[in-house]
Structure 1
Amino acid sequence: MRLVLLLGEDIAQSLGAIYTLRDEIREIVLLIDNNKEEQRRAFRFKRNLQHFSKKLGLNWSVDTETFYETAIESIHNLYKKVTKDSMKVIFFSSDANAAPTIILGSFFLQNRAALLSYDAYDNTIFKIENGRVTTKSADEMDIETYCSMLGYEIVEYIDEKEFIKDKESVCKLFENEERFQNVRRALLNNSKDFPYNHYNDIMKLLNRIDILENNKLKYEHNKRRLQGQLFEEYVYWKCKEAGFEDVKMGCKIDFLAHSKEQSHVINEFDVLFIENNRIGTVECKYVHRLDGLSFVYKYDAIVDYFGRTARALIVNIYQREKRKGQEENFYNSVLKRARLGNVRVYTDKVFDPSQFKKHLNWMKS
């Protein structure tokens, strides 16, 4: 089958349909108008699809064809070129401009060819063929597959096997979070006067997960886990509990993995998951002070790498101290700015699983 794909601005919105048809596809023809930026994007996508096809042993042939958006004759000639033989053809307009979609669609329908549409928010494929409309859910991708189709590469992540043995103890720590916060603060500040003997329940749990040995920090690098990774582990388990199938922690992704340039763009995500072929990320900040606006701008930009359907949640848990000059990490104006994009912020004194679940439901919607 030859998939004729009219590319739109958001390439990610085509992935679910292409992946579902992967075993039927023999050729992919990417249609692009005579615009330099669109051509650069199309050639990158062509390279990514070729790499993905080779990786899965699919052996797709991937080509590009250019047309002039305002010239009907140019579009018609293109249609004749992609339907020149007896191979079955499916026309797929992915987030593309309306004019070429309507014109090309009419040519294909006149000759009883199949048309495809994909609702990336609902993960549903619509197919028009022989006057009938059929629908089906797109096949589910895992994070690695989604990234691979966009030309990204997972460089590193923390395997669940490395911390699953501590799951019960970590969850108990956060069930008693205010007490845990007090002990954590004292340990990180190397406090000698703190009444550790009043917190035997917390101390036992920290000894059990090898943060402490004989009530003292076992290794210097355990500070890193105490400072933030324990919270990331807890959030990871809450995401798994919410039903997300593929969840990764400490996931580093190279966004220019197959670029010929030597420079690479690598970002680390505290918690990354995929649901119905839509990426979600949770940034976990267990700190008192941070620049909320900078984080909102950062994640609004980063989440765009995964397409318009991707969403990001920033979770900041910290004890607010009512002192003169003590400011909120996230002002109302910052929260409003976050809502303009695909970013939300959950901030509180202690982590509330019910509130967190509400934010996860937004990420699923």
Structure 2
Amino acid sequence: MKDDSTEISARRRYFRYAVFSLTALLVMSLGMAIVPRQPPAPAETPFSERARAAALADALALRAAGQELAGAAAGDGGPGTDTALDRTVTLLTIQARALVLPGDTPTASAGTGPGHRTAQASSAGVPASPGNSATPGPASLSELATDLAASGATRLTDALEADGGMARLLAGAGAAQLLAAGEIAALAGVPAAELPGWQEPAGPSAQPSPARGCTSAGPSGGADGERVDPGTGAGLGAALTATLDAEHQAVYGYQAALTRLDPTAATQASSLLAEHLDLADEAETYAALQCTAIPPTPPGYVLDPAFLGAPAAGLARLESATLTAFGDVVALSAAPARGWAVSALVAAARRTANWGVDPGPVPGLTLDESQLPALPDRPENAALTASPAAT
């Protein structure tokens, strides 16, 4: 009898264990069904896309500010002011069309107006793009100049980190906005030194030798990963070689033009010649870093009679030819060559404008305006955005 009662007690314990286990499993199942699974965190938007969206928002807001000023000062600001504002609005319109993607909708922020700034700054120490103000209304010329310069500086900073093609677009847009800022500032009586500027990143600390660390495969055998321009099939080494040749042509042209220019223009040309000599040396330095074979410098270049008859216009054409070369290097390079190329692109755009030729809405990039998309409708009171470099 004792054995039977012991066996029954054991069976009862097993039964209780089974009931408890099933109950616990049922409770856990119900709990998992009641508590919804947390959705996965959305993937972070790539930096290049954030930089593009910020550049688009800034271009649209600055364009709206320019339109307001042009409408408010129509006929009252003088022909120079009207022309400069029209040119700036056209510039920003083309840039925005180059930056827009299908489905883009500019964001709106209540209680703000174009042409007003915030105190935000990018992580690189460059003044952030214009932002919000509690008081909406049209900007003044000085405000527009400052906002253009701040936006241009931010675009150049973002170009250092963006992907190749977007880096070229941002660098060109930033360079053009800095030039427009200088023109508007001159009309407003604002000294150029008071505008936000852009600081070129530091270059290599030592002058490399073409043979240092080079193999037949490239720098330390690393050329297999070299970025290649899908449009031309050219790599960074070829782009730097083309840039070096463009600089040699510019040097030759300036040397030939010096004796044919009036004294004032000759003094300016002499200073710019020194810049091109430095740029040629720097292009050779960066080509050496890529283990690129440097071709011999030609003894001279053919100058057509039009150049000799109008040397200032000829120098403008030479300067304009360097823009594409620097744009290629921006798209194909990484630090430190990209920082050098972005700075050189800005300087080349300034030199081109100094000789009386418009470097275009995006210097360094040839745009077919007929192929650019139309701009989306812009909500009222849309505010400018901060650069992704500030986050």
Q: Given the two structures, how large is their TM-score scaled by the length of structure 1?
A: 0.25
* Higher fraction of helix: 2
Return the index of the structure with the highest Cα Rg: 2
Q: Which has the higher contact order (CA 8 A, sep 6+)?
A: 2
Normalised by the length of structure 2, the TM-score is: 0.24
